[in-house]
Amino acid sequence: MEIDEYSFGFIKVNGKSYNRDIIIFPDKVINSWWRKEGHSLNIDDLKIVIAYKPEFLIIGKGASGVMDVPYSTKKKLEDLNIKIIDRSTDEAVKIFNDYLSKGKKVVGAFHLTC
């Protein structure tokens, strides 16, 4: 599930285009991902990710990095042995593809705007 392209409000994964926030697993894409608090990432927004138990969760916080990842969310993920990397979405896309190419068990959660 490599990310082919990203620009504000748009992402292309394995040749398929999306214009809403997504979560990318090795075998599927969850499109139209939305958070309970919009620009804040709550642990409840990641239930499907937690159930998958990735080694890494790469979080794209938007083009300008507006989406907040509170300490409580980071702490809970770390307690579950899920390493997180949160960056602006363009940076997160590069990291996601790099980790994927190295065979890491990785999931990506990407906010496409802001």
Residues 27-83 have pLDDT tens digits of: 999 998 989 998 999 999 999 999 999 999 999 999 999 999 999 999 999 999 999
Q: What is the mean pLDDT of the chain?
A: 96
pTM, two decimals, is 0.96
Cα separation of 57 and 85, whole Å?
Answer: 6
Superfamily of domain 3-111: MTH938-like (3.40.1230.10)
Segment 108-114 shows an average pLDDT of 96
Q: How confident is the model at residue 12 (pLDDT cuts 50, 70, 90)?
A: very high
Share of the chain above pLDDT 90, in %: 93
Cβ atoms within 10 Å of 61's Cβ, excluding its own: 22
Pairing of strands 106-111, 56-61: parallel
**Residue 20 predicted with pLDDT over 90:** yes
Cα separation of 13 and 6, whole Å?
Answer: 9
Segment 71-97 shows an average pLDDT of 98
Provide the pLDDT for residue 64: 96
Q: In Å, what is the CA distance from 59 to each residue of 46, 50, 98?
A: 11, 14, 14
